[in-house]
């Protein structure tokens, strides 16, 4: 198992990340809109979490800050008869001063709106507040420092509270010249219809396996072949999810969990208690939260694959050796519909435990007791 270096995390942040794979069509749409000379003032970049929405927004922001408005596109041939050369991609070299200034949050014409720090609570706020958006109003009320575009990235627009959303709407209704707003949204349906209607929408989809490979090579270069294969399956086309899983030991956690599931209806209680002790010692609760997320995800994977009759067949990719055999064995215990009922039951069990702040180790033991009862009645 390769080691995860938290200090490398900064290089994965969208403002630092130069590369984006699998979204060529979206990049081309942005490039063509810019080259037309009629660039929409507001874009809503949508899609699942972690697929590259923010990375695309920062790539486009760097591009706009470097090249400015595409006025040359309408000027025709130069004095010598040659047509102006327009960029063919959104790439901005990492050696370019614009790249460095964006990476260091030091470009005067770029403002990124995110959940801000609450000094009183000593933590990040739960949402984007109106003061955060007023900073955009102030910035957009001034002339561009470098005479080109002023760009605002809202990451994520879903995090805005009502007052912040209304303040942003005023900017969208009366945008200043050469100002571009890039709104990131994981759930656009939750936003005000008036905000959605004033943005050109650009939808990103999860990456396919071919695009995931170079992405993981760049973000997680120390992964071995088995880890890369497993994370590709677990991440479901989301590089951001792959990074989180790698940072939290998701593969190892799932492997340990399924190892105990494979022993049902009589799991090794010594291993089970030891596993529970590890989760209980994590005072942040992140490990337990990840365990429950992975358990629900894997059981849903089992239900879907069993219902489609494709465990071990076309469209099935094994996360690690032995997973396919376990899935096949469990699928023979009961019909997919019964497993779906169990999925709901186990989810309620975990949610109920969280709601009453039950000891995490005890919740794990309760979960495996329920699994054992299900296995015993097959």
Summarised one tens digit per residue, pLDDT across range 90-104 is 999 999 999 999 999
> Strand 150-154 to strand 123-124: parallel, antiparallel, or no bridges (unpaired)?
unpaired
pTM over 0.85: yes
Instruction: Tell me what the mean pLDDT of segment 144-157 comes to.
Output: 92
Backbone angles phi, psi at 263, to 5 degrees: -90, -5
With bands split at pLDDT 50, 70 and 90, how would you rate the model's confidence at 139? confident
Q: Work out the mean pLDDT of the chain and round it to a whole number.
A: 90
Q: Residues 116-142: what's their mean pLDDT?
A: 89
Among the residue ranges 160-164, 190-194, 287-291, the one predicted with the least confidence is 287-291
Dist. CA 352–CA 313, nearest whole Å: 36
Question: CA–CA separation, 240 vs 53, rounded Å?
Answer: 10
pLDDT of 140 over the 70 cut = yes
Query: ∠ CA 97-138-17 to the nearest 5 degrees?
Result: 30
* 317-334: pLDDT as tens digits: 999 999 999 999 999 988
Alpha carbon of residue 117 to chain centroid: 21
Nearest alpha-carbon partner for 378 in 351, 348, 344, 339: 339
Query: Coil, strand or helix: which one is 180?
Result: strand
Residue 61 pLDDT level (bands cut at 50, 70, 90)? very high
Per-residue pLDDT of 232-270, as tens digits, reads 999 999 999 999 999 999 999 999 999 999 998 888 999
Q: Which tokens in the block code for residue 12?
A: 């994965």
Q: Which residue has the higher pLDDT, 32 or 83?
A: 32
- β-pairing, 150-154 vs 110-113, is parallel
């Amino acid at each position: 198992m390769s080691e995860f270096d938290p200090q490398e995390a900064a290089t994965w942040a969208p403002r630092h990340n130069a590369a984006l794979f699998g979204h060529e069509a979206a990049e081309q749409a942005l490039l063509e809109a810019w080259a037309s000379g009629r660039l929409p003032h507001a874009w809503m970049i949508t899609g699942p979490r972690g697929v590259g929405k923010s990375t695309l927004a920062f790539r486009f922001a760097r591009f706009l800050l470097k090249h400015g408005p595409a006025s040359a596109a309408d000027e025709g041939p130069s004095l010598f008869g040659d047509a102006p050369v327009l960029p063919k991609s959104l790439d901005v070299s990492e050696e370019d001063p614009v790249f460095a200034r964006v990476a260091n949050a030091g470009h005067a014409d770029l403002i990124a709106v995110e959940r801000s720090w609450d000094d009183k609570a000593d933590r990040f706020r739960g949402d984007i507040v109106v003061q955060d958006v007023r900073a955009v109003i102030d910035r957009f009320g001034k002339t561009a420092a470098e005479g080109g575009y002023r760009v605002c990235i809202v990451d994520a627009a879903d995090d805005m509270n009502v007052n912040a959303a209304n303040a942003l709407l005023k900017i969208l209704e009366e945008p200043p010249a050469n100002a571009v707003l890039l709104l990131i949204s994981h759930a656009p349906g939750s936003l005000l219809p008036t905000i959605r209607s004033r943005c050109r929408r650009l939808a990103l989809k999860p990456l396919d396996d071919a695009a995931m490979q170079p992405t993981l090579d760049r973000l997680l270069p120390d992964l071995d072949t088995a880890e890369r294969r497993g994370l590709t399956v677990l991440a479901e086309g989301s590089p951001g999810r792959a990074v989180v899983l790698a940072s939290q030991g998701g593969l190892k956690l799932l492997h340990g969990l399924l190892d105990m599931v494979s022993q049902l209806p009589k799991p090794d209680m010594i291993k089970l208690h030891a596993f529970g002790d590890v989760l209980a010692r994590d005072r942040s609760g992140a490990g337990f939260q990840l365990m429950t997320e992975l358990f629900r995800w894997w059981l849903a994977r089992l239900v879907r694959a069993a219902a489609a009759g494709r465990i071990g067949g076309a469209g099935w990719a094994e996360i690690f050796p032995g997973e396919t055999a376990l899935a096949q064995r469990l699928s023979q215990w009961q019909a997919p519909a019964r497993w779906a009922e169990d999925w709901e039951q186990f989810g309620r069990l975990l949610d109920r435990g969280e709601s009453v702040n039950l000891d995490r180790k005890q919740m794990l033991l309760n979960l495996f007791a329920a699994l054992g009862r299900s296995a015993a009645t097959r």
